[in-house]
Amino acid sequence: MTRVGVIGVGTVGRAVVDILKKNQSIISARAGETISVKSGVVRDLSKLPDLSISLSQNPYDVVDDPEIDIVVELMGGVELPFEIVKKALQNGKAVVTANKALLAYHRYELQEIAGDIPFEFEASVAGGIPIINALRDGLSANHILSIMGIMNGTCNFMLTKMMNEGAAYESVLAEAQALGYAEADPTFDVGGFDAAHKLLILASIAYGIDAKPEEILIEGIEGITPEDIAFAKEFGYTIKLLGIAKRDGGEVELRVHAALVDEDAMIAKIDGVMNGISVVGDRVGETLYYGPGAGGDATASAVVANIIDIVRSGKRSPMLGFNHPLEEGLRLKDQNDIRSKYYLRLQVLDKPGILAQITSLFAHHFISIEAVIQRPSETECAHLLFATHEATERSVHALISELETLESVLETPYMIRIV
Amino acid sequence: MTRVGVIGVGTVGRAVVDILKKNQSIISARAGETISVKSGVVRDLSKLPDLSISLSQNPYDVVDDPEIDIVVELMGGVELPFEIVKKALQNGKAVVTANKALLAYHRYELQEIAGDIPFEFEASVAGGIPIINALRDGLSANHILSIMGIMNGTCNFMLTKMMNEGAAYESVLAEAQALGYAEADPTFDVGGFDAAHKLLILASIAYGIDAKPEEILIEGIEGITPEDIAFAKEFGYTIKLLGIAKRDGGEVELRVHAALVDEDAMIAKIDGVMNGISVVGDRVGETLYYGPGAGGDATASAVVANIIDIVRSGKRSPMLGFNHPLEEGLRLKDQNDIRSKYYLRLQVLDKPGILAQITSLFAHHFISIEAVIQRPSETECAHLLFATHEATERSVHALISELETLESVLETPYMIRIV
């Protein structure tokens, strides 16, 4: 009999307790023994429905309980769960977490502290999709060439609505908030930070690369307009918020941003709140994993799978899937060196000679233009929409800075990368 | 240092040797020790390129070699590999196989013989896609409600060509043969048998159900015509060869057949030689796994991943992911009780009263018609294309038998299920 303690009994925690109870017979058959939740930790004891487990407000009641074998951490946050999880490992308890922020900052320290003690985190990336499982175990024979994924359901829901209905950003955000897909302060999702945490976890497993969120390119979807959506449609693209990890010789580039994606690509077909992650290995080629990236039951499905795996298989270490340096000397690529194709939207004064002036600036920065569309906007104004050939971030940002200084350019140019 | 012996050094076997050599540094970092191929077994010694491993023609040279830790079985066939693999397990050696036929017939005996000795078989289903991994470990918290997948790249290549180009079956088969996607005798692929083997393996893991290929519904894609393709397009479907496992109360239905699939479904978007498998769990909802289902490198990627997992994690048992009965009392559903919607194509004499005669037979069998299209074919003939509401296999087969006896029906009616 394995006993579990759940720290943080919210939507996911309640689903974990419920699955372990309702699916008990198949879970015992798979794990080889009975698994039950002994106790839980909550912030507010008065708010909870009856779960027939003992509850406390002190995480250490679980972490220091000698009868608990596996600690499930679902509190959220970074430093407090780090302390609690460390103590659990020091007490010899296996740990399962869904906390991506904790891992985005402390995954290597945790791997070191865990040693041979199982530490699992499937639910931290893409909820119910077993992507950690696939990447760490299923594709372990491969050098990973790239990971490209829709890792945030909130953004994908909003962008899908904008693409399908031509709706404006503000109205789809309000709808996402009304449906409970977006928080009152949506920054963590729409700003790309949530996706960035997940990307860092996947990049560790694939490349052994250590990076913090502050070190990588993170942009959100806030500035996207119906104009951009219309351009995307016209040129056979859809717009997605992507997390991208890409091997380039001795460097790995890591980035989260909105992107124009060829509408025929598998990743472009992932709509609504669903997540999908494409992984290219040097031997296997492209594989893709699709499913619900959030929600109590889907996330709990991943948490419970980790618990079963720990009970069934015992030692499942090392935590990130490797111990020695995985890719000797591999470095994080300087953001300025990242190459991409770009889409640029400029609002300009609608008078003769403007296009010539602007295109000469593109040429000055050695950025080659693939297509340009001029569309009237308000009186005496026009939108210029550019698609470029491949260029570096450095040169595109330099171009944008210079464009901004022109009197005829009426607002900061808006840029979306083309993947 | 772990030593591997490879029995069957064909396309996949050579790729296994090559990956273990070329990707040695990441593989050691992930496995925690060096893995090398010590020896291999081939049918014809004269045919092999230099692989710098010792080669023999006798499988027992590998199986009885005390220096070999892991036996990789890539021979194909059923009874001979069964004997060889049994001996390997009795000698205490871990086994990795890509042999779906072996597992379709002997998976439960092998699980029993293996006991605590690792026995892995990721490559046996859908080549490079880690679907066994996902189903056995990633989704283990779930009752599996259904599995629906494109598990045969040959058929999917052919059907995609037929859909996109309106080409005839015979010409795409010839093209598939020329490209090496189909064998000279293509029956195993186009008849659905390959997909059935894979489906049985997945159904074991999901449901603990024991069934042999002979006990389940297996049909292929041989009879599909451009007429059917045109009908599918007109009604918003695509045609796929699907392997389907579906829970229905105390029964599981297992079936492989061509199907009309809603063109907006994710599974409909999987084209060409690619495979894709959708799994619905009671808690996680739908997840989908996409990637290359065949090819030396992709299949070897799965074989080597299993090897790494055995070295890294030690005990990974039980083989199928459960020991006790997984779903107590769950039975295989009688094929006749399977319910579906159906598409029927009839060639009939083009004269008054025929449609009335035929539709009254549908009514007699309580099969309700959703749509019917009449198309002129040769002189004095017409094609009648029907889409029905849900009915049982029993009633549809009875209807077809009765239709066949009509003088005005010129050939055996052709049926495709609608999913």
On the question of pLDDT at B415 being above 80, the answer is yes
Which among B133, B143, B326 is the nearest to A138, CB-wise?
A: B133
State whether A133 and B129 contact (CB < 8 Å).
no
The count of CB pairs under 8 A between chains A and B is 212
Give the minimum alpha-carbon distance from A366 to chain B in angstroms, rounded to a whole number. 38
Task: Report the amino acid identity of residue B144.
Answer: I
CA distance B99 to B77: 8
- Pick from B256, B282, B313: which residue ends a domain? B313
On the question of pLDDT at B375 being above 90, the answer is no
Which among B19, B142, B316 is the nearest to A283, CB-wise?
A: B19
- Domain shared by A287 and A200, yes or no: yes
Collect all residues of chain A within an 8 Å Cβ-Cβ radius of residue B264: none
Write the pLDDT tens digit of every residue in B51-63: 788 999 999 999 9
Residue among B108, B117, B57 at smallest CA distance from B87: B117
Q: How many domains does chain B have?
A: 3
State whether B139 and A301 contact (CB < 8 Å).
yes
Q: In the 3-class helix/strand/coil scheme, how is A130-181 assigned residue by residue?
A: CHHHHHHHHCCCCCEEEEEEECCHHHHHHHHHHHHHCCCHHHHHHHHHHCCC
pLDDT bin (cut points 50, 70, 90) of residue B24 is very high
Write the pLDDT tens digit of every residue in A178-189: 999 999 999 999
- Domain shared by A265 and A379, yes or no: no
pLDDT bin (cut points 50, 70, 90) of residue B344 is very high
On the question of pLDDT at A81 being above 80, the answer is yes
Collect all residues of chain B within an 8 Å Cβ-Cβ radius of residue A269: 266, 269
Give the minimum alpha-carbon distance from A316 to chain B in angstroms, rounded to a whole number. 5
- Domain shared by A87 and A212, yes or no: no
pLDDT bin (cut points 50, 70, 90) of residue A315 is low
On the question of pLDDT at B122 being above 70, the answer is yes
Tokens, residue A257: 């941003």
Out of B198, B240, B246, B333, the active site residue is: B198
Catalytically annotated residues of A: 198
- The DSSP 8-state label assigned to residue B224 in this structure reads -
- The DSSP 8-state label assigned to residue B182 in this structure reads S
State whether B315 and A314 contact (CB < 8 Å).
yes
- Domain shared by B277 and B147, yes or no: yes
- Domain shared by B253 and B168, yes or no: yes
State whether A288 and B291 contact (CB < 8 Å).
yes
For residue A292, the tally of other CB atoms under 10 A from its CB is: 22
Residue B151's Cβ-count burial label (10 Å; 0-12, 13-18, 19+) is buried
Give the pLDDT of residue B316. 66
Collect all residues of chain B within an 8 Å Cβ-Cβ radius of residue A291: 284-288
A268-271: long-range contacts, CB 8 A cutoff, minimum separation 24 = A268/A237, A268/A238, A268/A240, A269/B266, A269/B269, A270/A150, A270/A156, A270/A240, A271/A156, A271/A160
Residue B319 lies in a domain: no
Give the minimum alpha-carbon distance from B28 to chain A in angstroms, rounded to a whole number. 8
Return the residue in A20, A70, A125, A137 with the most chain B beta carbons within 10 A, the one to mutate for interface testing: A137
On the question of pLDDT at A313 being above 90, the answer is no
Pairing of strands B369-376, B331-332: unpaired
Which among A138, A291, A325 is the nearest to B288, CB-wise?
A: A291
Collect all residues of chain B within an 8 Å Cβ-Cβ radius of residue A323: 29, 32
Share above pLDDT 70 across residues of chain A, in percent, rounded to a whole number: 99
Give the minimum alpha-carbon distance from A265 to chain B in angstroms, rounded to a whole number. 10
For the segment A198-211, the average pLDDT, to the nearest whole number, is 96
- Domain shared by A114 and A140, yes or no: no
Write the pLDDT tens digit of every residue in B80-91: 999 999 999 999
Residue B132 lies in a domain: no
Write the pLDDT tens digit of every residue in A332-366: 999 999 999 999 999 999 888 999 999 999 999 99
pLDDT bin (cut points 50, 70, 90) of residue A49 is low
pLDDT, averaged across chain A: 95
What ipTM describes this predicted complex? Answer: 0.94
Write the pLDDT tens digit of every residue in B167-216: 999 999 999 999 999 999 999 999 999 999 999 999 999 999 999 999 99
- Pick from A229, A263, A292: which residue ends a domain? A292
State whether A141 and B25 contact (CB < 8 Å).
no
The helix (run of H) or strand (run of E) holding residue B379 is none
For the segment A385-395, the average pLDDT, to the nearest whole number, is 97
In this structure, are residues A254 and A245 in contact, taking their beta carbons and an 8 Å threshold? yes
State whether A138 and B314 contact (CB < 8 Å).
no
Collect all residues of chain B within an 8 Å Cβ-Cβ radius of residue A122: 138
Collect all residues of chain A within an 8 Å Cβ-Cβ radius of residue B26: 143, 322, 326-327
Give the pLDDT of residue B49. 66
Collect all residues of chain B within an 8 Å Cβ-Cβ radius of residue A25: 328
On the question of pLDDT at B315 being above 70, the answer is no
Give the minimum alpha-carbon distance from B301 to chain A in angstroms, rounded to a whole number. 6
State whether A291 and B291 contact (CB < 8 Å).
no
For the segment A159-164, the average pLDDT, to the nearest whole number, is 97
- Alpha carbon distances (Å) from B361 to A90, B31, B125, B372, B405: 74, 64, 42, 14, 12
Return the residue in B121, B142, B247 with the most chain A beta carbons within 10 A, the one to mutate for interface testing: B142
- Pick from B258, B290, B322: which residue ends a domain? B290
Residue B330 lies in a domain: no
- Domain shared by A26 and A52, yes or no: yes
Give the pLDDT of residue A316. 66
Which among A23, A282, A289 is the nearest to B143, CB-wise?
A: A23
State whether B283 and A302 contact (CB < 8 Å).
no
Residue A323 lies in a domain: no
- Domain shared by B204 and B300, yes or no: no
User: Crossing angle of helices A24-31/A11-22, nearest 10°?
Assistant: 80
Q: For residue A263, what is the nearest residue in chain B, using CA coordinates?
A: B269
Residue B76 lies in a domain: yes
Is the model's pTM score more than 0.90?
Answer: yes
Share above pLDDT 70 across residues of chain B, in percent, rounded to a whole number: 99
| CATH number of A148's domain | 3.30.360.10
| CATH number of A82's domain | 3.40.50.720
Task: Report the amino acid identity of residue B55.
Answer: L
- Domain shared by B302 and B403, yes or no: no
Residue B25 lies in a domain: yes
- Domain shared by A273 and A209, yes or no: yes
Give the minimum alpha-carbon distance from B27 to chain A in angstroms, rounded to a whole number. 6
| CATH number of B342's domain | 3.30.70.260
Collect all residues of chain A within an 8 Å Cβ-Cβ radius of residue B281: 128, 301
Write the pLDDT tens digit of every residue in A106-125: 999 999 999 999 999 999 99
Query: Of the ranges A45-49, A77-81, A228-232, B37-41, which one carries the lowest mean pLDDT score?
Result: A45-49
Give the minimum alpha-carbon distance from A53 to chain B in angstroms, rounded to a whole number. 20
Write the pLDDT tens digit of every residue in B150-169: 999 999 999 999 999 999 99
Residue A54 lies in a domain: yes
Segments forming the whole domain that contains residue B22: 2-127+296-313
Residue B350 lies in a domain: yes
State whether B288 and A290 contact (CB < 8 Å).
yes
- Domain shared by A193 and A245, yes or no: yes
Write the pLDDT tens digit of every residue in A229-280: 999 999 999 999 999 999 999 999 999 999 999 999 999 999 999 999 999 9
State whether A313 and B309 contact (CB < 8 Å).
no
Collect all residues of chain A within an 8 Å Cβ-Cβ radius of residue B324: 28-29
Give the pLDDT of residue B360. 96
pLDDT, averaged across chain B: 95
- Domain shared by A151 and A280, yes or no: yes
CA distance A411 to A173: 23
State whether B128 and A285 contact (CB < 8 Å).
yes
